[in-house]
Amino acid sequence: MLFITVSSLIRLDGLDTEGIRIPHADKLVHAAFYGGMVVFGVCMSFQYKPSPSIKSKLWFWVIAAMGYGMIIEVLQNQVFMRDGDVFDALANTVGALLGALSLSFLFNRLPGLKWKD
């Protein structure tokens, strides 16, 4: 979370980023970061007892990641004078949902990795 916050809010003016240009690659980075946030958040929440259901943990982290991504975009635009972008927020949301779908697939489809609710 700290890495996402710092990398989202610092200004990178004057940084030489010449090289390979991939259109909209930043959206893939947004999706990967927020998908990772959901995966790591759910996995870390297994250590706490009493434990809510797996589905509630999954939805909590998806909603938290989506809200966090929206807050970061507003902060970028209003406070840190960076370009907050609706499509970045959308990429964050897609990443969070993909992270949840990945966990759901892993723990519901692969033998030996069944969630116990």
Query: For residue 112, is it left (φ>0), alpha (ψ between -120 and 50) or beta?
Result: left
Question: In degrees rounded to 5, what are phi and psi of residue 23?
Answer: -60, 130
Q: Read off the pLDDT of residues 64-103 as tens digits, 9 standing for 90 and up.
A: 999 998 888 888 777 766 676 788 889 999 999 999 999 8
pTM score above 0.85? no
Give the Cα separation of 70 and 1 in Å (integer). 14
Q: Read off the pLDDT of residues 18-36 as tens digits, 9 standing for 90 and up.
A: 665 666 677 888 899 899 9
State both tokens at 22: 């991939």
Q: 64 in helix, strand or coil?
A: helix
Please name the residue that has the structure tokens 């209003």.
78
Name every residue whose Cβ is closer than 8 Å to that of residue 48 and which is 6 or more positions away in sequence: none
